[in-house]
Each structure stands twice: as C-alpha cells, then as structure tokens.
Structure 1
Amino acid sequence: MQYGIYYAYWETEWGGNFVPYVEKCARLGFDVLEVACGAFDRENDAFFHELAAAARGNGMALTGGYGPRKEHDLATADNAQAEQTFRFYADMFRKMELAGIDRLGGALYSYWPAHGTPQTDKAADTARSVRRMQRLADLASDHGITLGMEALNRFEGYLINTAQECIDYVRAVDRPNVKVMLDTFHMNIEEDSLTDAIRRSGKLLGHFHVGEANRRCPGPNGRFDWHAIGQALHDIGYTGDVVMEPFVRMGGQVSQDVALWRDLSGGADEEKLDQDAAASLRWLRGVMEGNN
C-alpha cells in the first residue's frame, strides 16, 4: 500500500497551487498527494504540466478528489444540466491526464455537501445517476482515469451512505474503472462494523480514506482499531492508496463545507502541522504493515 494525505489539511480554501505541497509531502515521507480537482476549469494547461513535473521530480503520485457542486449533480432530473456536467468533467479529465492524475474520488454520483437535502425519489435519482455514470466512466477511461464512488454519511449525502449501497451502485454501473471508495470518518457513522464493510467490498475497493472519528490524523490515542482495519485491508489483498483526510483548522470554505466549528489542531502553526502529519504517517504505516 501507498500512503498519502489530502492537501486541504493545510488549507482553508479549495484549489490553489499544489506544487509546494508536492515538495512538502515528499519531504515528510508520503508517497501520494491528493488534490482538489473542482477548480481545474479555472487553470490553463501550464498549471498541470508544472504539477506533473513537480510530482515526477519528487517521486510522488497524485490522486484527485471532487465533491461535486449542486450544478454537477449526475442524479438531477434536468437533462440540460447533466449535459453541462459532462462538458465540465471532459475538461477536468483532460487536465487530470496532463497532471498525471489517474484517479478521482468523491460523491461523483450526486453532489456534496447535501446538508438538509429535501425529500427526493432516491430510486429514480439512483437510476439516473447509474445511467449517467456509465457514460462518465467511459469518458474517464479515455484518459486512463478510475473513478471512486465515496460512501458518505447521512449528514453529507443521501444516495450512497454505506459500503453495501456503494457496492450495489458500482455493480449496477458495471464499468472496470468505477470502484468503491470508503472513508473511516463516514464509516464510523454508518457501518455496524468497519472491518466487515472493508471485507465485503473486497476487490471492488479502489480507494481508502483514513482519519479519526473527529477528523484528526490517525494515531494511537483515537478510538479506531487501526490494527484491525489494516488487517482487513490485507485480507482482501488491497494494494491501493491509503490517504489521510484530516480537517483540523477553522476558516474559509473548507471548514464551512466539512462543518468544522472548532480548532482541532491545538493552535498549530504550519511547522507543527507538518510534524503531526509526519508522526501520524510513521505510526499508521507501521500499524498497517504490521510493524507496530
């Protein structure tokens, strides 16, 4: 397995210049940097060539994430809006390929955050989403991109909340580049057993996010059994990425979207954030690989 972190651990806004984080994360010992792809439409091709060069130069892999805005909801009943969404993703996928990003994860089947979603026809929304995801997957495949369907907790999404719902959705789409994506934060709310959910996903699991129940970096003082989680990943032969997605600093659109209403960093400056991330990485890698 390869170990990564989401750039927004250090940021309060989505998007921005990711190159410094490529260099930082390589220095801290990470294998992977995950970046936000939702603002790629604002950047020219030079931005992505520079990002790809930075990743190559630092021996880092890049993965992408996107919590679709409401106007990019694949489950919408508005066909004209859906067509615009395909054009948006076509541009994104082309630029991801330029940057060397071959995976995109998130609530790609719907939108995020779906706080207080009004009453919907979930079955009809799911059917539309599956049909359009098949088309989106084929478009992504043209650029060598795999799509991760992230199961979200009930307070952030409504279409896919559990691993089983995600499995059912992925099987309905029936495309080799559409995979299950799980996140310990969301699983903690929705799953009876995190390890059973991992094992049930089996070979369909394509991407895995980790963080404590309060979204701090993984560590020995939280309440998750990380040894058991690591064993479950080994049991299914998972060899993909394990990406930390901690959110600990208030401020900006990031904390608004993830509903972070208090500082969880202990007042950390950037140097302390770096130290905490590196310490978490060393500990997590040891646990996941059976060395701690």
Structure 2
Amino acid sequence: MKSCITVSLVEEARGGPFVLWDGLRAACELSARLGYDAIEIFAPGPDAVDPEELKNLLADHSLELAAVGTGAGWVKHQLQLADADATKRQQAKDFVRSMIDFGGPFGAFAIIGSMQGRHDATVDKPTALGYLAEALEELGEHAAQYNVPLIYEPLNRYETNQVNTVQQGVELLEGLSTGNVKLLCDLFHMQIEERNVAEALKTGGQHVGHIHFVDSNRRPVGEGHMDYRDIIAALRSIKYEGYLSAEAFPYPTPQIAAEQTMRAYDYWTSAT
C-alpha cells in the first residue's frame, strides 16, 4: 500500500476535509519532504492546473498523481449526475469527463463522490440511481482509454441518499456492463454506515480501488477512536495494493495533519 495526501485548490471549499490548501508547489514540497508517494488533487476544473507545470512538479519531487476529485462540479457549478434536467445531467457528465481527461495522462483516476447527486421530490430513487448507473457506464468506458478505472465513492446518509454502504456500492458496480469502475472506500463515511468497517472492506474485495485514510471524526488518523488493526488486516486479505490517501480536516494545521498521517501510515503499514 502506498501513501497519498489530498491537496485542495478550490477556495470555495476551504475548511473542508482536505489536508493541504496553499498551492501545488508548497504541497509537493511538503509531501516529498515527509515521504509521501503521491498527491490527490481537488481542483476547480481541468484548466486550473497547467499540465506541464504539474508534470515538472511531480518529477522534481518524485511524486505520483494518484487521483483527481470532481467535487468542484457540485461545489462551484451545482452539477450532479442525478439531476432531473437532462441538459444539466449532460453538463455534469461533461465536467467529469474533462477531469478524467486531465488526470488520465498522469495515470490518475477521477473520483465521483458528491457529484453523484440524490433522489428528491423531482427524481424518485430508482430513476436517480438509474441516472447514476448510466453515467458510471459511460464515464467508466471513457476512462479506460487511459488504462485507469473510474472511482465511485459511497457517501454517508447525510451527504447522499444514493449509495451509502460498500455492499450497495458492490451491487451498483456489478449491475454495470463495464468493469472499469471501482469503489472508493472512505473510512470516515464507513464508520457511520457500516456495522463493521473491516468486514465491509472484505465485502468490497476486488471492487476496492482507493482508500481515504482518515479517522472517525474526519481528522487525521490517530486523532479519533478508529482502530486500524483489523482495517489494515482486511486490506491485506483482499490484496489491496493501492493508495491510503489522507482526506481529512487539516487539524490542527495542514503541516501537523500531514506529519501525523505519515506517522500513522508508517506505523500501521509496518505492523504485523
């Protein structure tokens, strides 16, 4: 398993659960100094980062780009994949597609979380879930040209009423014709929704494509009450070799949160 840390470039989301906030260069410098393998970028859109500059920053600091978030499509533009309006649904898919095209050449996958939307008075539950599945089919196939999966994230009940548990996520993915969509298992969301986080990871099995490495209170690992012994054992049992990515509040500061997460990563990945 490899280490990763989140970098937000979306000013409207400042204060949210991303560790680093003060620009790509500073983020890369700190991440490299602390020994991280990769960064995960939450950007306003595909044009917010110059690809050549990013390529050079990653090379200069021996870092990979693990993933790119798509949540700015919701935060900045109020786009979501279950919208009752077909034009807005298409705009949402186009935004995700543009982020796939941004991250793909770096070998990074795009993450769909908040853009999955929800069912409401204008769109009933089966229809909303159908719209989501349709988008995952289309966008998963689009991502395949870069030899990366599309990553889909179940969220807790307070953030979506589409898919909340790993089991529900597995059922959604297994109903698709494409095999190029994987699950993001965020430990914070899981500790709200799952009876047993470790067992849920085992349920995810081969569908697990990314992990958000965070504690029960959405602070860095070690700042809450989650026990990671069984979680790491479960990830090893499903032969997970992807990233443990710190998507957490920058508590008490971004640097301290980054340092705390790396200490926790080193401890738990070396534990037997």
TM over 0.5: yes
Match of 1:102 in 2: 108
1:25 aligns with 2:28: no
Shift in Å at residue 13 of structure 1?
7.0
Matched, 1:82 2:84: no
Amino acid of the structure 2 residue aligned with 1:165: Q
Equivalent-residue separation in structure 2 for 1:289 and 1:106 (angstroms)? 31
Q: Name the aligned partner's letter for residue 233 of structure 1.
A: L
Match of 2:240 in 1: 238
- Matched length: 261
Match of residue 5 from structure 2: 5
Q: Give the 3 Å change call, closer, same or farther, for CA 108–138 of structure 1 in structure 2.
A: farther
- What is the one-letter code of the residue matched to 2:247? E
Is 1:64–2:89 an aligned residue pair?
no
Q: TM-score, normalised by structure 1?
A: 0.80
Counterpart amino acid of 1:207? H
User: Contact 2:32–2:61 at 8 Å: present in 1 too?
Assistant: yes
CA distance 1:27–1:10, change in 2 (3 Å): farther
**1:160 match: secondary structure:** coil
Counterpart code for 1:18:
L
- % same residue: 25
Q: Which runs of 5+ in 2 are unaligned?
A: none
For the pair 1:165 / 2:168, whether they are aligned, the reply is yes
Do the aligned residues in 1 keep the contact of 2:156 with 2:189 (CA within 8 Å)? yes
Shift of 1:40: 2.1
How far apart, CA to CA, are the structure 2 residues paired with 1:55 and 1:195? 33
Using the size of structure 2 for normalisation, the TM-score is: 0.86
Cα distance, 1:10–1:97 mapped onto 2, change above 3 Å? closer
Distance 2:48 2:104 in 1: 14
1:171-209 residue CA offsets vs partner (Å, 9 max, x unmatched)? 122323200111111011100000110000001100000
Seen in structure 2, the aligned counterparts of structure 1 residues 13 and 93 have a Cα distance that, compared at 3 Å, is farther
Task: Tell me which residue corresponds to 1:255.
Answer: none
- 2:260: which partner in 1? 279
Q: Identify which of 199, 202, 206 aligns with 1:203.
A: 206
Separation in structure 1 between the aligned mates of residue 257 and residue 94 of structure 2, nearest angstrom: 40
Whole-Å separation in 2 of the counterparts to 1:43 and 1:65: 13
**Does the CA contact (< 8 Å) of 1:109 and 1:149 recur in 2?**
no
Q: Which runs of 5+ in 1 are unaligned?
A: 249-263
| 4+ residue segments displaced more than 4 Å | 13-16
SS of the aligned residue for 1:281 comes to helix
Match of 1:148 in 2: 151
Whole-angstrom distance in 1 between the partners of 2:108 and 2:120? 34
Equivalent residues of 2:153, 2:185 under 8 A apart? yes
Shift of the 201–140 alpha-carbon distance from structure 1 to 2, 3 Å rule, reads: same
Query: Would the alpha carbon gap of residues 13 and 246 (structure 1) be closer, same or farther in structure 2, given more than 3 Å must change?
Result: closer
On the 8 A contact 1:74/1:133 being kept in 2, the answer is: no
The superposition leaves residues 116-142 of structure 1 with CA deviations (integer Å, 9 ceiling, x where unpaired) of x74451111111221222111122222
Q: Does 1:229 align with 2:235?
A: no
Cα 1:231–1:9 shift into 2, 3 Å: farther
Contact 2:104 2:143 in 1 (8 A): no
Helix, strand or coil at the partner of 1:72: coil
Distance 1:33 1:158 in 2: 29
